[in-house]
A and B are shown apart, each in its own frame.
Chain A
Amino acid sequence: DAKTTQPPSMDCAEGRAANLPCNHSTISGNEYVYWYRQIHSQGPQYIIHGLKNNETNEMASLIITEDRKSSTLILPHATLRDTAVYYCMNAGGTSYGKLTFGQGTILTVHP
């Protein structure tokens, strides 16, 4: 199973950028980097995904290093509603829709 490593928790001040790191040491060439978040008792919410280029959407930016062994999710202006567990994963190829969730990072945004 594809494994990723994330810090267990992070704090961020409201209005500041939140930068969440992830190590993808076992990522293979045809796997994408995915980020999801989960607010307590709700289903995981898709944030962003990418292969090797940096990506940006209305929610966040994704920075992937050149060797693809690590990525950073950036929430440019964190709000209290961004407090959640953030999961990074690498998936694709023959995994047939299987996402392997780790323990994630608990991001707490405080006033």
Chain B
Amino acid sequence: DAGVTQSPTHLIKTRGQQVTLRCSPISGHKSVSWYQQVLGQGPQFIFQYYEKEERGRGNFPDRFSARQFPNYSSELNVNALLLGDSALYLCASSSGTGVTGNTIYFGEGSWLTVV
């Protein structure tokens, strides 16, 4: 079975531009979460979606938005890119909403470089 898949794997954007990152969860998983990992730090939680509804949001500005589609895939959008948005963006999927007892699996991430 395929794991969590993300696209693109690498991309370069210019300051002020917008970017869309895509994620397909493991088959049967209804929950998708997004994380940002800046070089040298641990991943930071951005969003969680379950059944197409936002169920959790981290401390990120409104430039960050996401959505989940009927097939449970998800997109993360970042507007007005800043140099500080350069990071590895990770998508994770699990079967349920809460973490209790659920195993959360991560994709390999999308490397975003803002120049």
Contact = CB atoms under 8 A, between A and B. Distances in A.
B44 interface: yes
A51 to B, nearest CB: 8
A93 interface: yes
Interface stretch (B64-72, B75-83, B100-108): B100-108
Interface in B79-115: 88, 90, 92, 94, 97-109
Nearest to B42: A101
A99 B37 CA distance: 13
Which residue, of A34, A97, A100, A101, has the highest number of chain B Cβ atoms within 10 A?
A97
Contacts of B105: 46
A34 B100 CA distance: 10
Contact of B98 (A36, A44, A93): A93
A18 interface: no
A96 B109 contact: no
A98 B43 CA distance: 11
A97 B49 CA distance: 9
Contacts of A30: 100
A99 B45 contact: yes
Given A93-B100, A95-B99, A43 B106 contact: yes
Nearest to A36: B106
Interface of B: 4, 31, 33, 35, 41-45, 48, 50, 55-56, 58, 88, 90, 92, 94, 97-109
